[in-house]
Amino acid sequence: MTLTESPSLLVAGIGEMVLSSSSDAHLVAYGLGSCIALAAWDPRAKVGGLAHFMLPNGPANGGSPVKFIDTGLDNFLRAMEAKGAVLNRSTFKAAGAAAMLTVGGGLAIGKRNADAMATALTERGLTLTATALGGNAGRTVQLEVADGRFLIKSLSSVSEL
């Protein structure tokens, strides 16, 4: 299994989200370190979204719609609903949150991101159905809108959540 290169490739850069209801769309976030990519997929509406969150919290006017989990998650969820997704039947998968950077007294940003994502989803009555969080290696992820497959590529492998 390989990550796809195609004209239907939509890339979520840091602080960005991409959404699609096209069955040939491939949603990608490259080079996740301590960042978290959150994939959402509604199997009935066949709507997928991928958000690339950088930090657990920050100012509401951070300049990017999903730069911060605390202010950006609702932007992402509203965008999914606007595309026709129903959140309580959607699956949510996350990857990233590696121990790449530390701040202050050694507080790992990746762990803070993972904790913030889990808390934020729980507060909204949503849960992660699969994760590839932590570790110390970067990842690239891809969501297949046609079937909800979430592919994760590290330096040495490609796997599916």
Residues serving a catalytic function are 35
Q: How far is CA 19 from CA 22, 26, 38, 64, 109, in A?
A: 9, 10, 12, 15, 26
CA 116 – CA 120 distance, rounded (Å): 6
**Which residue is it, tokens 């891809």?**
142
* C-alpha angle 49-39-73 in degrees, rounded to nearest 5: 80
Residues sharing a CB contact under 8 Å with residue 104, sequence separation 6 or more, in sequence order = none
With contact defined as beta carbons under 8 Å apart, do 56 and 120 qualify? no
Tokens of 123: 């507060």
